[in-house]
């Protein structure tokens, strides 16, 4: 609910439907940045070793909860990493227990710690059929990894070669196309039934020029890589439309600065700290502040068949909000995403 002067906005407490927390000292350092504003998050399973079985997910959940500071309320929604050896019965049991809310598909080599991902999709057909039977969503990293496909085309080719065939061969399978980066992705999701898509904070702000013009900007490098401006515009239009298939998944992905500012730098933008302030600016510019709640707090729970949060947060517009440039963790410093424009919306 926005005030008459649009100087404050109260929304249901948001959720993050795509989040990397890592493990160990990094987990302890970055978890409070999410838990400060978000009630729940879909937790990515690409650890080393990956979270493959229900027992792995339970152990990881326990580590997350142990790292949560006193006085903070946060619920990790666990996922399993799909491999060619994944057991359909184990997936079904983990889902039935309420622990696991989705299974994550990484094409092998697509992104950080994805070496255990799927190469032969025929080998996971039994798992996908079981997931369709029980209504468990498949979250997809939507890129092919074949070397002949240009990195800027990997999402569009994934839709044609992988995603559409999976949906046609597995009727009833509920799919989230995560961190979409192209108009192709927006249009495909719009054309489908019972399908969702997450959109990141940073892909609403940057295009590929931000990474490359005037020198390489390693803290804007992510996978899927940011695309042309026309694609960023399509993402903003989808996010600010309030349409049900589109919801927030930050893909906030911490790496220490030494691994980002490197000859072969890691992919990922760390946005957990300032996401709500950045989104408020994006939605305000689009004249869509009244639809921010749908994107951050309503559409995701509807897709995952979960209740919306009872709590609320209030964003207030005022002077420039001063976020830290870096978060200090026990693993090393992590740079907070810089949107490149002043932020005037603070979060209570």
Within a domain: residue 54?
yes
Give the residue ranges of the chain where pLDDT is below 50.
Answer: 3-4
Helix (H) or strand (E) holding 246: strand 246-248
Q: What is the pLDDT of residue 112?
A: 61
- pLDDT at position 5 is 54
Asked, for residue 1, whether it belongs to a domain, the answer is: no
Residue 3 domain-assigned (yes or no): no
Range of the domain at 197: 8-347
What is the C-alpha to C-alpha distance for residues 282 and 318, in angstroms, rounded to an integer? 16
pLDDT for 4 equals 43
pTM of the model: 0.96
Would 76 be classed as within a structural domain? Answer: yes
- Per the DSSP assignment, residues forming a β-bridge with 198 are 247
Q: What is the CATH number of the domain that holds 90?
A: 3.20.20.140
At 242-265, the pLDDT tens digits run 999 999 999 999 999 999 999 999
At residue 141, the 3 state secondary structure works out as: strand
| Amino acid 120: pLDDT | 85
Cα–Cα distance, 241 to 247 (Å, whole number): 11
Residue 202's pLDDT is 98
195 bridge partner residues: 175
Q: How far apart are CA 322 and CA 330, in angstroms?
A: 23
With beta carbons less than 8 A apart as the criterion, state whether 14 and 276 touch: yes
251 noted as active-site residue: yes
How many domains in the chain? Answer: 1
Q: Name the packing angle between helices 229-240 and 183-190 (round to 10°).
A: 40
Helix 88-96 / helix 125-134 crossing angle, nearest 10 deg: 30
Question: And the tokens for 26?
Answer: 């990094």
What pLDDT does 108 receive? 73
Which residue among the candidates 251, 290, 310, 338 is catalytic per the annotation? Answer: 251
State residue 121's pLDDT score.
83
Flag whether 287 is in a domain. Answer: yes
């Amino acid at each position: 609910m926005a005030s008459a002067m649009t100087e404050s906005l109260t929304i249901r407490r948001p959720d993050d439907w795509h989040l990397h927390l890592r493990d160990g000292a990094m987990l302890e350092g970055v978890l409070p940045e999410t838990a400060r504003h978000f009630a729940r998050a879909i937790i990515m399973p690409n650890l080393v070793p990956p979270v493959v079985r229900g027992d792995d997910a339970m152990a990881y959940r326990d580590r997350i909860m142990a790292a949560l500071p006193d006085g903070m309320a946060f619920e990790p929604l666990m996922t399993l990493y799909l491999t060619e050896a994944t057991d359909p019965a184990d997936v079904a049991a983990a889902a039935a227990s309420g622990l696991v809310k989705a299974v994550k598909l990484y094409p092998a080599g697509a992104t950080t710690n994805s070496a255990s991902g799927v190469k032969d999709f025929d080998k996971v057909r039994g798992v996908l059929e079981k997931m369709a039977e029980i209504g468990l969503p498949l979250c997809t990293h939507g890129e092919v990894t074949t070397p002949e496909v240009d990195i800027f085309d990997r999402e569009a080719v994934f839709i044609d070669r992988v995603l559409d065939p999976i949906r046609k061969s597995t009727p009833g399978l509920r799919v989230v196309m995560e961190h979409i980066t192209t108009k192709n992705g927006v249009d495909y999701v719009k054309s489908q039934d019972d399908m969702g898509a997450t959109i990141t904070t940073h892909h609403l702000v940057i295009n590929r020029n931000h990474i490359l013009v005037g020198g390489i900007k390693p803290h804007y490098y992510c996978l899927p890589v940011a695309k042309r401006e026309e694609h960023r515009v399509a993402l903003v239009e989808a996010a600010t439309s309030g349409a049900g298939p589109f919801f927030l998944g930050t893909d906030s992905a911490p790496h220490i600065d030494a691994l980002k500012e490197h000859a072969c730098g890691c992919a990922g933008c760390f946005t957990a700290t300032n996401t709500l302030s950045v989104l408020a600016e994006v939605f305000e510019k689009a004249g869509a502040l009244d639809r921010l709640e749908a994107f951050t707090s309503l559409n995701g729970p509807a897709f995952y068949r979960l209740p919306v949060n009872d709590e609320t947060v209030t964003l207030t517009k005022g002077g420039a909000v001063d976020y830290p440039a870096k978060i200090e963790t026990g693993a090393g410093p992590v740079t907070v995403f810089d949107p490149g424009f002043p932020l005037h919306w603070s979060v209570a």
